[in-house]
Amino acid sequence: MMNNNEPDVEPDVEPDAEFDVDLDAELHATDGLFAAAFAHLGDLPADLEQRARRGASATMMDRSLIGIAVDLMSVGVDTLRLLGGNGTGGSRP
């Protein structure tokens, strides 16, 4: 018994064969354009290593300077506490 809900399509014939042929032709025609457009993406600038080192060095120097500033500020705060009598040291004179 045949099911009447199935479309009359031959199983060996691909419905979009003409579209596939056109798509393949267009892709083949544009292969050279894509290759030329994306060829420069793999080229690295000549000064990339120097710029990366300079940036990393500047970042590490900034972090070091911030750490030193925080350390000096905490020493100053501790000194003011000691001089003001609110320190954690011995008894007040």
22 or 83, greater pLDDT:
83
Mean pLDDT across the stretch 55-65? 96
Q: Report whether pLDDT(90) > 60.
A: no
What span, in angstroms and rounded, lies between the C-alpha atoms of 54 and 2?
76
Spans of all domains in the chain: 48-85
Q: Given the structure tokens 């004179």, which residue do they identify? A: 93
**Is 0.75 surpassed by the pTM of this model?**
no
Q: HEC profile for the chain?
A: CCCCCCCCCCCCCCCCHHHHHHHHHHHHHHHHHHHHHHHHHHCCCCCHHHHHHHHHHHHHHHHHHHHHHHHHHHHHHHHHHHHHCCCCCCCCC
Q: Write out pLDDT tens, residues 11-59.
A: 565 667 777 888 888 878 877 777 777 777 778 888 999 999 999 999 9
CB 89 within 8 A of CB 82: yes
